[in-house]
Amino acid sequence: MCTHSLPTTLSHAWCEPPYPPLQVRQTAGLLLKNSVRLAFGGISEDFRSFIRAALLPVLGHPSRDLRHTAGTCAVTIVSHTGLGAWPELVAALAEGLGAGPGEPNRVEGALDLLYKVGLRPGGAGRGMRRSFVRLARWFCRVWQLRERRAD
């Protein structure tokens, strides 16, 4: 008998080698997002942690479709928990935004996630928007510092 929940099974298809074809992984990510949206509160904390950890590396994946799907899943989780409840995501954002020109996938994944966090309608609440504003200010400061060093 299978003891895994649907979100856990989808997470395994998403991140565990051997990886299924790209389209299967993207579909698993979208189904994961829908499962999280509908039942995140009913998922055990161990599996929630597994799902969050599985999403982070995909934010910098070479496939744009997978990066965007990971960002959508992450924002769906953040809408349930708030950005402050996922410090590893904030750290991944900071690392992605600070990635060098040789890592465009990480930068683009972080920017896409910031865009989605900032535009998430209604359900995220003021706390998430405040977190987004703080991240945007931080990003602007980092960008200004980089520009000064480049001169």
- For residues 114-142, give the mean pLDDT: 65
Looking at residue 59, its pLDDT comes to: 92
User: Which has the closest alpha carbon to 58: 14, 2, 6?
Assistant: 14
Above pLDDT 70, what percent of the chain?
Answer: 68
- For residues 48-66, give the mean pLDDT: 90
**CATH number, domain at 118?**
1.25.10
In the block, tokens 């954002």 appear at 93
Tally of structural domains, the chain:
1
pLDDT confidence tier of residue 131, bands split at 50, 70 and 90: low
Residue 36 has pLDDT above 80, yes or no: yes
User: Which has the closest alpha carbon to 75: 26, 27, 129, 24?
Assistant: 129
The domain containing residue 58 runs over which residues?
Answer: 6-150
Residue 142 has pLDDT above 90, yes or no: no
Residue 104 has pLDDT above 60, yes or no: yes
Residue 107 has pLDDT above 80, yes or no: yes
118: Cβ contacts below 8 Å, ≥ 6 apart: 129, 132, 136
Quick one: CA dihedral 99, 52, 90, 23, positive or negative?
A: positive
- For residues 78-93, give the mean pLDDT: 87
Answer whether residue 1 is part of any domain. Answer: no
Answer whether residue 141 is part of any domain. Answer: yes
Answer whether residue 65 is part of any domain. Answer: yes
Answer whether residue 66 is part of any domain. Answer: yes
Answer whether residue 137 is part of any domain. Answer: yes
Answer whether residue 138 is part of any domain. Answer: yes
Answer whether residue 45 is part of any domain. Answer: yes
Answer whether residue 34 is part of any domain. Answer: yes
